[in-house]
Chain A
Amino acid sequence: MGQRDPPRAVVLMLTYITRRIAQSLMVLLAVSMISFVIFQFMGDPVLTLAGRYATQEQQEAVRHSLGLDRPLHVQYFTFIKNALHGDFGLSYVAQVPVMKLIFERLPATVELAATAMVMALLLGVSLGVISSLHPRSVSSRGIMTGSLLGISLPTFLIGILLILVFAVSLHILPSFGRGRVVSIVGKWRTGFLTLDGWRHLILPALTLGMYQLAVLIRLTRGGMLEALQEDYVRTAWAKGLSPRVVIFKHALRNVLIPVVTVAGLQMGELIAFSIVTESIFQWPGSGKLLLNAIYETDNPVIVAYVMIAAVIILSINILVDILYGVLNPRISYD
């Protein structure tokens, strides 16, 4: 290891990224194949679609128009070809293009997830740091107990409790929906620009982010406690540097690396728990869409959702890898 010429490091990094992207594409292909095959064997949308009173002939006509009577591999290739154009077919239930359905609901989920993550990161890291400075103090113990509860309470219970306290008993916050939303940039409807939107966002974001918050508190605290024992920190103390510099510049930076990595890799968890949160708060996002699609066996929606989730997760992974490399110069990409 040691110092490398900047250009060489950049080339190495680019090679690494390219390799990762290639690997991710292979994973996506595998995922698409698996989900496609699975759906061939699941349920028969024809009967629901032809309506309650259709005859056998009419059902065959529906089957043909859905393309369900062509051989499996032909259907798959058509599926892939269309997918590359962003066409995942029509939702069985709404007869509207699936991609449109998902992308319409995505802003709601993205805003919810982003708010939850930002809150969890900001609060989690700060509380973690605070509780690591004076580990035996009352407030630290309080924070630790709180975080222990935070990881022991399932998300759905947190949601129910929050609704019970703030909406039903105290009547100060709404219990469902997004409230008034404003259109910005095309189809993106945001709740960030209205007070009503924020009021509706508080409880769901808290519910979704609670687990992450607790995990981050514990992680940060653990990392800080370890870092504060390290030699280089002791040296900095000895040198007489101000406490603030010591904490933030030295210890925290090294703790942030694993924290950010973990936070980034929690994408899968975040997507999964947004489904639960959206269900409890009737939040009109893509998670709720998936849940409805599951109940109604709306296969095109489920397949498209799985693919999109895969793309998001794989992209975030690559980003985190890059970020990790930037933050920690000791990593080599060979």
Chain B
Amino acid sequence: MIKRLFHSRVLKHFLKDPLAIVGVLILFVMLIGAIFAPLIAPQNPYNPRELSLQDSLKPPLWMHGGESPFLLGADDQGRDILSTILYGCRTSFMVGFSVVILAGLLGVTIGLIAAFYGGVLDAITMRVADTLFSFSTTLMAMLLLGIFKGGGIPLVILAIVIADWVRYARTMRGSTLAVKQEDYVEAARAIGSHNVRIMFRHILPNAIPPILVVAAVDFGAAVMLEATLSFLGVGVPINEPSLGMMIASGKNYIYAGMWWLTAFPGISLIAIVLGVNLLADWLREEINPRLKRG
């Protein structure tokens, strides 16, 4: 399988595209940082035993007043910024992957079944989906979390998934409807294959490629949404790390000249989303070769 990947056309295209490589590299670095946070980080900033108020607002190492191990400085509670970023990225990736997997599974299944069976099921499902979609994931998540406060990260993920599955369902439905007409599906029916078998063996694999693009874009969107929700104060609880929350609490200190509380988390957040978007752009081109980028 790996060998196939190495020799594949896809990989060749990928290696030719510098932007895509950059994107994946950035993501990779952030991901490694996030996964190995407990090992790499100088401090676990969410364990009160490791903190000291005396370190409050220390500037980055290279500035006057900076002190090791606070490479990127400390926030107002004495938390090491670098450590907080690493842990914050963890939350971002966790939310991103969870949303994509959950919403993806839910949406793909619903879209596949609705398009396959058609009729009333399809009509009703799409009505519900359309309504949820027009409310937008962002608004739904904000309202839900504004109403149900204090649920922690799982609730944040749930609030996002509730409206997010729709984009997967729609895409899946679209490609299922297209694939449904193909010859090999007709053939499978003719020899009497089960519906379920047809769906999962024949239609699904061929309808998947557009989903990958949606997933990539959605990952970035979910990460940004979590940051926005936490920024507003309705996302991740205060004793759990979040890049959005760091930016929110650091915002007031910018005007006092302490830019590091907001700048570094901000850059990290942008890096993750940018990396994912670069990858998504490349994927989109791969899937839709008619679009010459130039």
Contact = CB atoms under 8 A, between A and B. Distances in A.
Interface string A257-280: 000000001111101110110010
A225 B127 contact: no
Given A164-B254, A275-B142, A314-B134, A152 B291 contact: no
A79 interface: no
A155 B228 contact: yes
A229 B274 contact: no
The interface residues of chain A, by DSSP majority, are classed as helix
Contacts of A154: 224, 227-228, 231, 244, 269, 273
A313 interface: yes
Contacts of A295: 233
A160 B254 contact: yes
Contacts of B127: 23
Contact of B274 (A149, A160, A268): A149
A279 B142 CA distance: 13
Contact of B138 (A23, A269, A279, A291): A269
Interface in B126-167: 127, 130-131, 133-136, 138-140, 142-143, 146-148
Interface string A290-334: 110011000000100010011001101100000000000000000
Contacts, number: 106
A266 to B, nearest CB: 7
Interface in B260-277: 262, 266, 269-270, 273-274, 277
Given A23-B127, A271-B139, A314-B134, A225 B278 contact: no
Nearest to B251: A160
A155 B136 CA distance: 16
Measured as residues with beta carbon below 8 angstroms from the partner, the interface class of chain B is 35 or more
A226 B291 contact: yes
B138 A157 contact: no
B133 to A, nearest CB: 7
A276 B251 CA distance: 14
Interface of B: 127, 130-131, 133-136, 138-140, 142-143, 146-148, 220, 224, 227-228, 231-234, 244, 247-248, 251, 254-255, 262, 266, 269-270, 273-274, 277-278, 281, 290-294
The 8 nearest A-B residue pairs measured at CB: A268-B136, A135-B294, A294-B146, A272-B138, A272-B139, A152-B274, A152-B273, A269-B136
